[in-house]
C-alpha cells in the first residue's frame, strides 16, 4: 500500500540563476509514524519566487536550506495515518511540508482545511501565501484610497493579480506592469486594471508609466525591482507609499545593484516599507475568511499553471525565477483518495 | 524713530554649493501698517540647512524663492505697531517672517510667545523647528524602544543633539556620528551618547559603526546621506526604521546619487520614511509644551552659535550647508525694547 517517499533536495547552491542541476531527486522509505505524529501525503506543492532566496547561504528572514535537505515549500496534503488526537485519515491539511511526497510530523505546522467549495490548489495561491501577501501589503502599508493611483509590477502574477483586484475594489486607478501582451490582456480584461503596460514592448518605461499615471503614483506595489523600480520611483507623489514585496528581477544578482536616491523620501514624505506575510500568522486566516466566498462566487479571479509530478518542481522554479511562467505554478503531486 | 527695512534677497541661484554672491542686501523703507496688520521687528533669525533647497527652482514641498525676493526663515520678532486686535506693541512673536528687519502682515503666520524663562533664541532651535523635528521623527517613525540601538548622523547639530537626548531618555543605546573631535566630545560628554564616531577621522566608517553597534541598528535617524548613509544602512536590523530627516551631504548635488539597494527592505522588513515637521503644526506646540520646562531646568542641553547682524546671514548659511558651523546658528538682528 505505502510507496516510497520521494523528495527533491538541494544538491548545490546556484551562482546567479538556478538550474535544474542544483536539485536532485531522492527516494527513501516512507517514514514511520511515531506516537503523537501524523503521516500526510502531498497532493499539491506551491512554487514561489521566495524559494530562490532560500537556496543561498545568506542571512535571511528564514534559515537557508542545507545541501542535501529537501526544498521548503507550502503544500496541500492529506492525512494517511494518524497517531495524533487532532488528525484523522482523509483530512485535507495545509502546511509548509516541503518538496516531498510523504511527511510524518507532530502536525504543529498543519492546519486542517474544510471544504468550502474552493479547489484545494487555490489554498496555495489565491487563498494562500500570495493572496495573503497582496492583502496584508495593501492593508498595512499601501492603503490605496478611492481616487488614488496604484501601480503594481508583475501584475499578472500570483500576488500582483490580487493586488489589482483589491485596489480596484478600493476605488483606485490601477496601472499594472507585466511582461508580454498576453499577460497584459489578462490584467486589463480579466482582472480589471485601468491600464497594463507591457514593459517588454515600450520604448521608454518611465514615460509609459507617467502617461498612464497622469496624477502621479500614490501607491507602488513593488514585486520586481530593477529597471521597473527605477522607472516608477520618480513618479511617486507626496506621501506616496512603496510596498516592498519582492524584487524578483534582482534575486539572481551576486551584488546588490544601487537603488534610487533616498533624497526624495524626505522631500515627498515617502514611506518605503518591506514586509513578510509570515510575520503575522493571522494574515492567512483573515485573508481566507475574506476571500474564500469571493473565489467560490467567481468575484475574485485567478489562474494557475499546473505542473504534473514532484520531479518537475525544479524546472518550474527555474521558470518562476526567470519569469517564464504565465501564472502561479502549482505542482500536482498526487490526487486525494 | 523708524529705521530702514533691510532684507537679504536671493540674487542668483547657486550651481552646487551656494556662496555669499548668491545673495544681496536691499534696503527699503519700513512698510506702512494697514488696517488689520501688525508691524513686527526681527530680533532673531534662524539659519537652517533646508534653506539651501529653497534656493533652487526645483519642485519641493515648499515653493522655491523667486530671484529678488527675501529668503524665507523662522524668526523671533517683536510687535512695534499694531492695527490688529490680537497684537499689542512689545509682544514677542514667533513666525516665518524671512530675512528682513521689519514685516507688516496680517499676523496669521505669527504666534505670541509667553515668557516661560527660556531664552527667546531657543524658540528657533531647541524649542523650534529643529527640536520639533527630532521629537516628531522619533515619535512617529523612529520609535526607539528601551534596549534598542539608535544611530544619528549630524549628532551635534540642532536636530541631532535633541535626537541623542530623547533617545537616551527612551533607554536606547545611542551612537552619534559627527565630524570632528570637538563635536564628538560634545555629543558624548554633554549630550550623553554612548559613543560618538568622528567620521572625518576613521579609517572605515562602516566598521566603526558596526563596532559601536554590536547588536546592529534598530533606528537610523538620517540627517546627512552620502557615505554615512551607505555605511549605516547595511547594519539595520530586522524591522529597522530609517527616519529620513535630511541628507545635507547631497543638497548640493546637481544629480541625485544612487541610494542603497532596496532589496534589504524586504528581507529585513525595513521602514524608510521621510517627514516634514511643518506638515503637522501641532508638532510645534506639543514639543514646546514638553520641552520648555526641560530647557529652563537644564535637563535638555543645547548650544547655539551666535552671528551678529542680518547682513551676515548669507555667510552663516554657507557655513551650515558646508558643515563649518559648530552648532545651531541664530542671527541676532536686534535686541528687544
- Contact list in A for residue B274 (CB cut-off 8 A) is 262, 264-271
Please answer whether residues B179 and B199 qualify as being in contact, where contact means their C-beta atoms are separated by less than 8 angstroms: yes
pLDDT of residue B229: 96
A129-137 and A160-169 helices, crossing angle to 10°: 40
- Per-residue pLDDT band for A323 (boundaries 50, 70, 90) equals confident
Q: Phi, psi (5° rounding) for residue B169?
A: -60, -30
Q: Phi, psi (5° rounding) for residue A330?
A: -125, 140
Task: Tell me the nearest-neighbour CA distance from A274 into chain B, angstroms.
Answer: 4
Least confident span in A290-299, B36-45, B321-330 = B321-330
Task: Tell me the nearest-neighbour CA distance from A132 into chain B, angstroms.
Answer: 16
Cα separation, A77 vs A44, in Å, equals 7
Residues 163-222 of B with CB under 8 A from A: 222
Cell matching residue B327: 552648532
Cell matching residue B33: 501698517
List CB contacts of B320: < 8 A, sequence separation 6 or more: B47, B48, B49, B51, B329
Average pLDDT over residues B22-40: 95
pLDDT of residue B254: 76
Least confident span in A53-67, A109-123, A292-306, B260-274 = A53-67
pLDDT of residue A134: 97
Task: Tell me the nearest-neighbour CA distance from B134 into chain A, angstroms.
Answer: 14
> Per-residue DSSP letters for B220-265?
EEESS-HHHHHHHGGGEEEEEEEEE---GGGTT-SSPPPB--THHH
**What is residue A259's DSSP assignment?**
B
- Per-residue pLDDT band for B38 (boundaries 50, 70, 90) equals very high
Please answer whether residues A42 and A74 qualify as being in contact, where contact means their C-beta atoms are separated by less than 8 angstroms: no
Is pLDDT at A116 greater than 80 in this prediction? yes
- Per-residue pLDDT band for A2 (boundaries 50, 70, 90) equals low
Is pLDDT at B1 greater than 60 in this prediction? no
Smallest CA–CA distance from A245 into chain B, residue: B266
Is pLDDT at B25 greater than 90 in this prediction? yes
pLDDT in tens, A269-287: 999 999 999 899 999 999 9
What is the overall mean pLDDT for chain A? 94
**Dihedral of the CA atoms A318, A324, A326, A328 (nearest 10)?**
20
pLDDT over 90, % of chain A: 85
Please answer whether residues B259 and B229 qualify as being in contact, where contact means their C-beta atoms are separated by less than 8 angstroms: yes
Least confident span in A8-22, B126-140, B185-199, B250-264 = B250-264
Determine contact: A273 vs chain B, CB below 8 A.
yes
Average pLDDT over residues A115-144: 95
pLDDT of residue B116: 94
- Per-residue pLDDT band for B257 (boundaries 50, 70, 90) equals confident
pLDDT of residue A1: 43
pLDDT of residue A158: 87
Mutation site for B-interface testing, chosen from A274, A276, A277, A278 by largest number of B Cβ within 10 Å: A274
pLDDT of residue A61: 64
pLDDT of residue A60: 63
pLDDT over 90, % of chain B: 85
Is pLDDT at A59 greater than 70 in this prediction? no
Whether residues A272 and B275 touch (CB distance < 8 A) is answered with: no
Average pLDDT over residues B308-326: 93
CB atoms within 10 A of CB A211: 13
Average pLDDT over residues A43-47: 97
Whether residues B272 and A275 touch (CB distance < 8 A) is answered with: no
pLDDT of residue A249: 78
Whether residues A61 and B275 touch (CB distance < 8 A) is answered with: no
Whether residues B266 and A258 touch (CB distance < 8 A) is answered with: no
pLDDT in tens, A212-260: 999 999 999 999 999 999 999 999 999 999 999 988 777 777 778 899 9
CATH architecture of A129-278: 3-Layer(aba) Sandwich (3.40)
Cα separation, A65 vs A223, in Å, equals 23
Determine contact: B311 vs chain A, CB below 8 A.
no
Q: Which residue has the higher pLDDT, A310 or A109?
A: A310
CA distances from B17 to A20, B22, B50, B55, B249 (A): 54, 10, 13, 11, 11
Annotated domain spans of chain B: 4-125+303-332, 129-278
Mutation site for B-interface testing, chosen from A142, A240, A244 by largest number of B Cβ within 10 Å: A244
pLDDT of residue B61: 64
Average pLDDT over residues A298-311: 95
CA distances from B146 to B67, B149, B150, B170, B321 (A): 48, 9, 10, 6, 34
pLDDT of residue A50: 86
Please answer whether residues A13 and A301 qualify as being in contact, where contact means their C-beta atoms are separated by less than 8 angstroms: no
pLDDT of residue B3: 77
pLDDT of residue A3: 77
Cell matching residue A244: 516592498
Average pLDDT over residues B135-140: 98
Task: Tell me the nearest-neighbour CA distance from B219 into chain A, angstroms.
Answer: 14
Average pLDDT over residues B179-198: 96
State if pTM tops 0.90. Answer: no
Average pLDDT over residues B154-158: 91
Determine contact: B254 vs chain A, CB below 8 A.
no
Question: Taking the alpha carbons of A105, A107, A108, A114 in that order, is the dihedral positive or negative?
Answer: positive
Average pLDDT over residues B5-26: 95
Domain B4-125+303-332 class, CATH top level: alpha beta
Determine contact: A275 vs chain B, CB below 8 A.
yes
- Per-residue pLDDT band for A309 (boundaries 50, 70, 90) equals very high
Determine contact: B244 vs chain A, CB below 8 A.
yes
CB atoms within 10 A of CB A285: 11
pLDDT in tens, A79-104: 999 999 999 999 999 999 999 999 99
Amino acid at each position: 500500500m505505502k510507496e516510497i517517499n520521494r523528495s527533491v533536495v538541494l544538491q548545490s547552491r546556484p551562482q546567479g540563476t538556478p538550474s535544474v542541476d542544483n536539485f536532485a531527486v531522492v527516494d527513501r522509505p516512507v517514514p514511520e509514524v511515531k506516537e503523537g505524529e501524523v503521516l500526510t501525503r502531498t497532493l499539491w506543492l506551491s512554487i514561489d519566487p521566495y524559494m530562490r532566496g532560500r537556496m543561498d547561504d545568506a542571512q535571511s528572514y528564514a534559515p537557508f536550506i542545507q545541501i542535501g535537505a529537501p526544498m521548503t515549500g507550502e503544500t496541500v496534503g492529506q492525512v494517511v495515518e494518524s497517531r495524533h488526537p487532532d488528525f484523522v485519515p482523509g483530512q485535507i491539511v495545509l502546511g509548509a511540508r516541503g518538496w516531498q511526497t510523504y511527511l510524518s510530523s507532530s502536525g504543529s505546522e498543519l492546519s486542517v482545511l474544510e471544504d468550502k467549495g474552493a479547489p484545494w490548489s487555490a489554498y496555495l495561491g489565491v487563498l494562500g501565501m500570495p493572496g495573503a501577501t497582496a492583502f496584508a501589503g495593501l492593508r498595512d502599508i499601501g492603503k490605496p484610497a478611492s481616487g488614488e493611483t496604484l501601480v503594481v509590477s508583475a501584475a499578472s502574477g500570483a500576488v500582483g493579480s490580487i493586488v489589482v483586484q483589491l485596489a480596484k475594489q478600493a476605488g483606485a486607478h490601477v496601472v499594472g506592469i507585466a511582461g508580454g501582451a498576453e499577460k497584459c490582456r489578462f490584467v486589463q480584461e480579466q482582472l480589471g486594471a485601468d491600464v497594463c503596460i507591457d514593459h517588454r514592448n515600450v520604448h521608454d518605461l518611465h514615460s509609459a508609466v507617467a502617461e498612464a499615471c497622469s496624477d502621479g503614483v500614490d501607491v507602488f506595489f513593488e514585486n520586481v525591482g530593477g529597471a521597473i523600480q527605477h522607472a516608477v520611483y520618480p513618479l511617486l507623489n507626496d506621501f506616496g507609499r512603496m510596498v516592498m514585496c519582492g524584487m524578483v528581477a534582482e534575486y539572481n544578482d551576486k551584488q546588490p545593484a544601487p537603488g534610487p536616491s533616498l533624497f526624495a523620501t524626505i522631500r515627498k514624505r515617502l514611506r518605503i516599507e518591506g514586509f513578510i506575510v509570515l510575520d503575522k500568522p493571522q494574515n492567512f486566516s483573515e485573508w481566507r475568511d475574506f476571500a474564500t466566498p469571493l473565489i467560490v462566487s467567481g468575484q475574485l479571479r485567478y489562474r494557475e499553471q499546473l505542473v504534473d509530478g514532484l520531479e518537475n518542481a525544479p524546472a518550474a522554479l527555474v521558470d518562476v525565477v526567470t519569469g517564464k511562467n504565465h501564472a502561479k505554478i502549482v505542482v500536482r503531486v498526487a490526487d486525494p483518495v
